[in-house]
Structure 1
Amino acid sequence: MESQKPLHRAAILIRENGGYHFDVQQIPVPEIQPLEVLISLSVSGVCGTDVSLAAGHVGPCCDILGHEGVGKIEKIGSGVDPSIAKIGDRVGVGWIQDVCGQCSCCRIPGGETRCVEELYSGRKRNGTFAEYCSVPARYLMVIPEDITIADELVAPILCGGVTAYKALKVCEAVRGEWVAILGAGGGVGALAVQYARAMGYRVLAIDVNIDMRDECLALGAEVFLNAQDDISSAVQKATGGLGAKAVIVTAGAKVAYQSAFKIVAYFGVIVCVGIPPLPESISFHPLDFIGTGVKLVGSLTGTRADTIEALRLVQKGVVTPKVQMTSLEDLSDAIQMVGKPGIKYVVRLQ
């Protein structure tokens, strides 16, 4: 008689009555293919993209979401190159699970984040809200042994942190210039404030939640502004009339993008990170760019190399995610708190 397959706990997305929640179920542990590895997950961060996927705002998704997973390799497929990884290696499972390595995007340095054969966690492959997951070995991210920070501090960097870090890398500002973080009070925004400070920028933190003023200043912002005030005048005053050389929009509200044009300097860069719910759109006139030289740049997430760089700043102690631990059973409640004051929720899995 065939032996029973081993089971593990997973939070299954349930949509009903116009809403969604997660049901913790016992399901079979994934069976890996020859070019995959099986990971025993210890924690998984909860991200704003999980909210968007669960709510159906960004298209179809899998039943198991999550893309900030940390764990150890438990099993390696028969076809995996042994130089890639070994059993027991600590690994991170981010938004990108695999890339083709052959398309026009993959052939551009750093372009694999937009691979046309996208395999994203929770979107086309089951994610990390479970005790185990299987991932292709080709794009596996083994965490270097000299990065010794706890798993719960690694998890938020695998998407939220590296997204903030990469946005700052492409914003074209140089050390000593002003960078504004719109949505600085949220989980990604609070990390962006810390990374901006660590990278040598002067930081303007802007948020509707004025209760985050002291928190943002403690994280490294020189100035905190209430987004509901006349921020155009306030930014001009704070920067000596220059405006912000770069504006990182981590908030998904339409008004955040409209505000960005009011505070960016001539020839400055607005980096889009926050995603308004589809099909909501934002309209700009060509003169917004022609007359000012302003660039509008979309930044998705970071590569594996970007992620390791972002983790090293946490290891160094100049960036520290503020985390709140939760459980799979409490995931339905925790996901409703995503984006609340500066906290990244992390699920303890094992």
Structure 2
Amino acid sequence: MASTDTHKVAILTSPQEPNAKPTFSVQNLPRPVPGPNELLIRLSVTSLCGSDLGMALGHMGPVGNILGHEGVGKIAALGSNVASLDPTVEIGQRVGVAWLRDICGVCPFCVDIANEGETRCAEALHSGKEAYPGTFAEYTIVPLRYLARIPPAFDGVPDEEVAPILCGGVTAYKAIKGCRLTPGQWLVVSGAAGGVGALAVAFAHAMGYRVIAVDAGATKEAYCKSQGAEHYVDVTSGEDAGKQVRELTGGKGAKAVVITATAAAAYQKAFDMLGPFGTLMCISILPEEAKVIFHPLWMIDNGWTVKGSSVGTRADILEALEFVKRRVVIPKVKWGTLEEVEGLMDKMSKGQLESKYVLKL
């Protein structure tokens, strides 16, 4: 039995290189100790995100050896200054531990309140990077300044449904919100059977949009439609995906295409799916060498907009959780353990995962 001064973690042991196969070692390490302005969180669950694979493969720059950024838990200990700085913080409160651990609050991004620029903070600290190990662990540290509380109003939402919203879910929700559509308009989700993609389909449907799911393989159709997709386009069918989308929309094309697929081809083909004044919303992260080709006249003649969305604020997380609370979005989860991270990551790299995997800690 592990000492009470240690905790179980999954350590990334493979090189952070694009062609590497991510490998992990489950170990008992010293339990972290919070600094004066920090909190110790005892995590109950963490879910597996596509970004964890990208981090393991070096697509997001250097990272630490403890990944994970969709954790839910309760405050286990307070730093020495916390009680005086914020007396409302108490041991036992439920919190989320997401991609953003801390922001500077003063850079040009953070002070741009209109664009909610904190998600792009120039000095941000992230889970699994910089100073904060990720959530593939029983315990982790969070700073008081950027504490993501889960209010009692969400007590009825179980941890395993909160966790997927902390990154994948809020990323999907914020991106769709950023498309600024009118309910009833057509929206395409490319990579619709993946973790973020399936949540994007569910949120878009719940927000009143008509959703066309795009992915590879006929077997994914039923899953995408169960999330709220009205139509499914299989890019491996031999038919042109852009043509199919135009036909399904009565020749108009989609008002927005949200890219969650991690392939340059998905971005390239999206231009064929857009209708007049459509928005191409970029979410998925590609390797640095990946390129997408466009001609400026496409934007000029069609009035297209290309935008990117980066996770969401703490307020966005609570907005997204309202959909879950009302049961109009229900994350489809499967259970796993830290010992299964390596195998799950391998399946993810091959596009073989459906649903969000939640690891019980």
Counterpart of 2:67 in 1: which secondary structure?
coil
User: In the alignment, is the contact (CA less than 8 A) between 1:38 and 1:135 conserved in 2?
Assistant: yes
The aligned counterpart of 1:180 is 188
Residue 355 of structure 2 aligns with an amino acid whose one-letter code is I
The aligned counterpart of 1:272 is 282
Quote how far apart the aligned CAs of 1:31 are. 1.1
TM-score for the superposition, normalised by structure 1: 0.95
The total of aligned residue pairs comes to 346
The aligned counterpart of 2:66 is 64
Is 1:142 the counterpart of 2:142? The answer is no
The aligned counterpart of 2:176 is 168
The aligned counterpart of 2:124 is 118
Is 1:319 the counterpart of 2:325? The answer is no
Quote how far apart the aligned CAs of 1:218 are. 2.1
Q: Deviations over 1:277-312 (max 9, x none)?
A: 222222222122122111110111010000111111
Q: C-alpha separation between the residues in 2 aligned to 1:261 and 1:96?
A: 31
What is the identity percentage for the equivalent residue pairs of Structure 1 and Structure 2? Answer: 48
User: In the alignment, is the contact (CA less than 8 A) between 2:189 and 2:211 conserved in 1?
Assistant: yes
Q: Deviations over 1:52-86 (max 9, x none)?
A: 11112221001111000000001111222224521
Of the three residues 92, 102, 108, the one matched with 1:88 is: 92
Runs of 4+ aligned structure 1 residues displaced above 4 Å come to none
Quote how far apart the aligned CAs of 1:18 are. 4.1
Structure 2: gaps spanning 5 or more residues:
none
Counterpart of 1:248 in 2: which secondary structure?
strand
Task: Report matched runs for 1:43-54 at 5 Å.
Answer: 43-54=45-56
Quote how far apart the aligned CAs of 1:46 are. 0.7
Q: C-alpha separation between the residues in 1 aligned to 2:333 and 2:300?
A: 42
Q: C-alpha separation between the residues in 2 aligned to 1:118 and 1:244?
A: 35
Quote how far apart the aligned CAs of 1:21 are. 0.9
The aligned counterpart of 1:294 is 304
User: In the alignment, is the contact (CA less than 8 A) between 2:22 and 2:345 conserved in 1?
Assistant: no
Q: C-alpha separation between the residues in 2 aligned to 1:95 and 1:165?
A: 15
Quote how far apart the aligned CAs of 1:313 are. 0.5
Relative to structure 1, the CA distance from residue 242 to residue 84 in structure 2 (aligned partners, 3 Å threshold; closer, same or farther) is farther
Deviating more after overlay: 336-345 vs 289-298: 336-345
The aligned counterpart of 2:136 is 129
The aligned counterpart of 2:356 is 344
Relative to structure 1, the CA distance from residue 213 to residue 76 in structure 2 (aligned partners, 3 Å threshold; closer, same or farther) is same
Q: Deviations over 1:12-57 (max 9, x none)?
A: 1101594331111111111111110000000111111110111122
Q: C-alpha separation between the residues in 2 aligned to 1:192 and 1:323?
A: 15
User: In the alignment, is the contact (CA less than 8 A) between 1:58 and 1:278 conserved in 2?
Assistant: no
Counterpart of 2:357 in 1: which secondary structure?
strand
Deviating more after overlay: 89-98 vs 279-288: 279-288
Counterpart of 1:234 in 2: which secondary structure?
helix
Counterpart of 2:328 in 1: which secondary structure?
coil
Q: Deviations over 1:244-264 (max 9, x none)?
A: 001000001111011110011
The aligned counterpart of 1:284 is 294
Is 1:40 the counterpart of 2:62? The answer is no
Structure 1: gaps spanning 5 or more residues:
none
User: In the alignment, is the contact (CA less than 8 A) between 1:326 and 1:345 conserved in 2?
Assistant: yes
Quote how far apart the aligned CAs of 1:341 are. 4.6
Residue 139 of structure 1 aligns with an amino acid whose one-letter code is Y
Q: C-alpha separation between the residues in 2 aligned to 1:85 and 1:304?
A: 16
Indicate the RMSD between aligned Cα atoms, in angstroms: 1.5
Deviating more after overlay: 73-82 vs 255-264: 73-82
Q: C-alpha separation between the residues in 2 aligned to 1:103 and 1:84?
A: 28
Q: C-alpha separation between the residues in 2 aligned to 1:50 and 1:341?
A: 14
The aligned counterpart of 2:228 is 220
The aligned counterpart of 1:106 is 110
Is 1:260 the counterpart of 2:259? The answer is no
Of the three residues 146, 155, 162, the one matched with 1:154 is: 162
Residue 14 of structure 1 aligns with an amino acid whose one-letter code is T
Of the three residues 309, 327, 330, the one matched with 2:319 is: 309
Q: C-alpha separation between the residues in 1 aligned to 2:273 and 2:178?
A: 18
User: In the alignment, is the contact (CA less than 8 A) between 2:215 and 2:235 conserved in 1?
Assistant: yes
Counterpart of 1:87 in 2: which secondary structure?
coil
Q: C-alpha separation between the residues in 2 aligned to 1:271 and 1:310?
A: 18
Q: C-alpha separation between the residues in 2 aligned to 1:259 and 1:341?
A: 23
Counterpart of 2:340 in 1: which secondary structure?
helix
